[in-house]
Amino acid sequence: MNGLPRELRGFFVTGTDTDAGKTFVCARLARLLGGLAGGRLSYVKPVQTGCTRRQDVGTAGGWSAPDVDAVALQWPRARALACFEPPCSPHLAASLAGTALSCRELAKACADAVPEGDMALVEGAGGCWVPLNARETMLDLMLCLRLPVVLVAANRLGCLNHAMLSVEALQARGIEVAGIVLNRTCPPAQCDAGCGAGAGPADELRILQDNEASLEAFAAEAGVPLLASLPWQEDPLAPLPQLEAVAGTLFDRFRRQGAPRGAMPSWSVPAAGESPESAAEILAFDRAHLWHPYTSALNPLPVRQAVSARANRIVLADGTELVDGMSSWWCAVHGYGSPALKAAMSRQIHAMSHVMFGGLTHRPAAALARRLLDLAPAGLEHVFFADSGSVAVEVALKMAVQYQIATGRASRRRFLTPLGGYHGDTQGAMSVCDPVNGMHTLFAGLLPKHYFMERPSARFDQPFDPASLSEAARILEARQDEIACVVLEPIVQGAGGMWFYHPRYLEGLAGLCRQYGILLVLDEIATGFGRTGRLFASEWAGVAPDIMCVGKALTGGMMTGGAVLASGAVAQGIEQAGPAEGGGVLMHGPTFMGNPLFCAAACQSIDLLLASPWQERVRNIEGWLREGLEPCRRHPAAADVRVLGAIGVVEAKRPVDMARLQDYFVSRGVWIRPFNRNVYLMPPFVSPEEDVALLCDAIRGAFDAGLC
Ligand SMILES: *Cc1c(COP(=O)(O)O)cnc(C)c1O
């Protein structure tokens, strides 16, 4: 994207606090590194407060900036960018001056201030969490600049605490920490090591030395080297041999940073952990080696590189921000990067990311199961954790068959399902997907043959026609000895055609299942957790299934995971099996079953959902979708418009050209991925009205432009 600044190479210097000695260290490092770099080093202070006006031309065009003046004594190429008079935090100083700082602009100014080919030494203001404006802090500026960070830590009371909290804050954002320089900020006689009044210099010294040893050990645990421990130094110009070694180490590292990589890939994205490949290299590698969903390995459709996501926005590598219309396939109901979800997962990672579920249990698993059983339709009493939606479906189908065998109806081994369904891509799940979409001909011989009935023809928004159930009644009557369960998506058929059917159909079907003792398996993987306007779509029909599958929005899109809920009767049925029939145990157990990180994410996501006004949000989105998409109905290329809850569909008369349409949508600043004949939206529940309007506008635009 145009307007992105050149990427800088060099280092960012931050402190554990104000007065940690950042400027002192910067001045000396500037001289040493500048020497090593053959003079090609620029020192930049992006924000300086406590400046004074000068009549003559000062270091910052009419300003005298104290840090820059100090550095300039050692290294002349030193500049301050934004200067303010009051000696206070940048956000406050800027607001007193009647302006506001922005990370984006500061980063741009830094890039402009450093001539091409120069090593940059950028000095922050204060520590990590110093605010630049109401939303952004120094940490955001560091993220923008993507420079490795040198942390200057004051060796005094609180040293370890401040230094390690800073390291954590930096690493939590994926910012690379090049190392720590520990600095004595006052002479031994006044040093503030925290001893009581009666303590002598020897006691103080012992504490300062212990700070050094402890910090070195803790920082090493975090993978951060202690680069030097500096003695007190009165004369800012006297040589400090410890810093020569630091400069040598940093300069080596600088040389290994490689050539500048062109434009900055993004503004608000963690850089560290990512290899220094350009976006073009990543796309080329992806194209050569990676499979994407339903694509060719050798001749794939184009993909785009996403670098970050926040709320309902996805940011691409070129800086383009897209309004998300997909919730990443039903999952991200809270949008992206919810602080509560991140914190819950982070807490769980620190306690225990995973342990096997065989023979062990844990609080997150119990907590999640309790929540699911509390919320799910009545009668569901047992929970099986699966590692994805498809696996949940596999487990549900096995459960149904095991139940029938164990209760003396071993001939019941097939399933009945409507056409147009989607239940996942593993073999068992695929066998009950729509046979055309699911490519049953291709896999003939591999997939068991199940019974299919016509798609529920009664629309959600039209009067119910009982005739729509007659085929189901006929098959169940004729095949009752063969059918273990009826499996379907309640109310909304998702990936198989985005079709919304009448709740009375589901109610009638549940009645038929009861009549023949055939289990009802509801796949709530797409519909669960509020998407249709009810917490679970089965609530529209007041139906309680024997087995229910959840997934997708279960973790709010933070990670994969699913669950199968079963009634007491199903569990008790399976229990009756003799040794030859499995002996009453359910024959399934994935390696990552009950993964604590998944459970923690899911618990937090559910809590977040329930604490939010989700019904109101979904109802609002429904109204906005209706308003925005309904005009498409008049378009000659559109076959139908359907809206339910936070789902909006425009069905085209012919299959759409996905690649062309996707290009168009991205050019309109939205992320919408159509499929087959359906151009559809299921935005995060947190989406504001104007963003939903933008999504709908883009779809109307696509029809008007003849792209559908
Ligand atoms: C997505 C989906 C699945 C499969 O879930 P995965 O996590 O992709 O395996 C199953 N059923 C329905 C209704 C789905 O929408």
Q: What is the DSSP string of 676-694?
A: TTEEEE---TT--HHHHHH
Burial class (CB in 10 A: 0-12, 13-18, 19+), 516: middle
- Angstrom distances, CA of residue 446 to CA of 97, 391, 428, 482: 73, 18, 10, 19
Active site residue 118: no
Q: Using the atom order of ligand 1, give the atom closest to the CA of residue 393.
A: 10
For the question of residue 451 being annotated catalytic, the response is no
Q: Name the band, by pLDDT with cuts 50, 70 and 90, for residue 55.
A: low
Mutate to test the pocket of ligand 1, among 331, 333, 422 (most ligand atoms within 8 A of CB): 422
Of the residues 328, 423, 493, 527, which should be mutated to test ligand 1's pocket, given the most ligand atoms within 8 Å of the CB? 423
- Give the angle subtended at the CA of 363 by the CAs of 361 and 368, to the nearest 5°: 100
* 110 alpha carbon – ligand 1 mean position (Å): 47
Gyration radius of the chain's alpha carbons: 31
CB-ligand 1 contact for 212 (6 Å cutoff): no
Q: Is 25 in the pocket of ligand 1 (CB under 6 A)?
A: no
**pLDDT over 80 at 269, yes or no:** no
- pLDDT at position 5 is 59
Is the beta carbon of 538 within 6 A of some atom in ligand 1? no
How remote is the CA of residue 389 from the centroid of ligand 1, in Å?
5
- Name the strand (E) or helix (H) holding 571: helix 568-575
Is residue 264 within 8 Å of 144, Cβ to Cβ? yes
Distance 687 CA to ligand 1 centre (A): 23
pLDDT in tens, 313-371: 999 988 899 999 999 999 999 999 998 898 889 888 878 899 999 999 999 999 999 99
Nearest alpha carbon to residue 47 among 112, 9, 101: 101
Domain segments of the chain as ranges:
10-256, 275-304, 369-611, 614-704
587 is written with which tokens?
């024959």
Atom of ligand 1 nearest to the CA of 523: 13
- Ligand 1 contact via 8 beta carbon (within 6 Å): no
| 552 is known as an active-site residue | yes
Determine the Cα–Cα distance for residues 486 and 171; give it in Å rounded to an integer: 50
Q: Are 456 and 530 a contacting pair, CB within 8 Å?
A: no
Instruction: Using pLDDT thresholds of 50, 70 and 90, give the confidence band for residue 188.
Output: confident
645 close to ligand 1 (CB < 6 Angstrom): no
Closest CA to 252 of 149, 178, 153, 170: 178
**Active-site residue, from 43, 403, 422, 501:** 422
At what angle are helices 689-704 and 658-667 packed, to 10 degrees? Answer: 130
| 523 belongs to the catalytic site | yes
Could you tell me if residue 512 is left (phi over 0), alpha (psi between -120 and 50 degrees) or otherwise beta? Answer: alpha
Amino acid at 616: E
Query: How far is the C-alpha of 57 from the C-alpha of 602, rounded, in Å?
Result: 60
Is the confidence at residue 705, as pLDDT, over 80? Answer: yes
What is the chain's mean pLDDT, rounded? 92
DSSP strands (E only) in 55-118: 63-64, 78-83
CA of 527 to the centre of ligand 1 (A): 10
| Residue 526 CA, closest ligand 1 atom number | 15
| CA 343/CA 167 separation, integer angstroms | 17
Return the structure tokens found at 399: 């459960």
Instruction: Give, in words, the CATH class of 369-611.
Output: alpha beta
Ligand 1 nearest atom to the CA of residue 560, by list position: 7
Q: Residue 525: CB within 6 Å of ligand 1?
A: yes
Contact 381, 566 (CB under 8 A): yes
Atom of ligand 1 nearest to the CA of 424: 4
Q: Show the tokens assigned to 93.
A: 């100083």
DSSP letters spanning 380-412: EEEEEEESSHHHHHHHHHHHHHHHHHHTT-TT-
pLDDT bin (cut points 50, 70, 90) of residue 57 is low
Task: Confirm or reject: Cβ of 492 under 6 Å from ligand 1.
Answer: no
Residue 265 in this model has a pLDDT that exceeds 60: no
Top CATH class, 614-704: alpha beta
pLDDT tens digits for range 561-598: 999 999 999 999 999 999 988 899 999 999 999 999 99
Domains 369-611 and 614-704 share a fold: no
Distance CA 125, CA 651 (A): 55
Question: Which one of the listed residues 552, 664, 680, 691 is annotated catalytic?
Answer: 552
Tally of CB atoms within 10 A around 637:
16
C-alpha of residue 235 to centroid of ligand 1, in Å: 68
Q: Bigger pLDDT: 348 or 268?
A: 348
Give the least confident one: 213-227, 605-619, 622-636. Answer: 213-227
Domain 10-256 part of CATH 3.40.50.300: yes
CA of 341 to the centre of ligand 1 (A): 22
Q: Nearest to residue 535, comparing CAs of 326, 341, 375?
A: 375
388 CA from centroid of ligand 1 (Å): 8
102 pLDDT exceeds 80? yes
551 CB less than 6 Å from ligand 1? yes
pLDDT class of 1 with cuts at 50, 70, 90: very low
pLDDT at 266: 36
pLDDT at 297 over 90: yes
pTM of the complete model: 0.73
Percent of the chain with pLDDT over 90: 81
Residue pair 159/209 in contact by the 8 Å Cβ criterion: no
Answer whether residue 304 shows pLDDT above 60. yes
Maximum mean pLDDT: which of 138-147, 445-454, 537-546: 537-546
Cα–Cα distance between 539 and 511 in angstroms, integer? 15
d(C-alpha 485, C-alpha 397), whole Å: 8
| Residue closest by Cα to atom 6 of ligand 1 | 389
Position 602, amino acid: A
Residues contacting residue 313 through CB under 8 Å, at least 6 positions apart: 321, 322, 323, 324, 336
Instruction: Categorize the per-residue pLDDT at 237 as very low, low, confident or very high, splitting at 50, 70 and 90.
Output: confident
Q: Which residues pair with 363 in a beta bridge?
A: none
CB 314 within 8 A of CB 673: no
Whether 491 is in the pocket of ligand 1, judged by its Cβ within 6 Å, is no
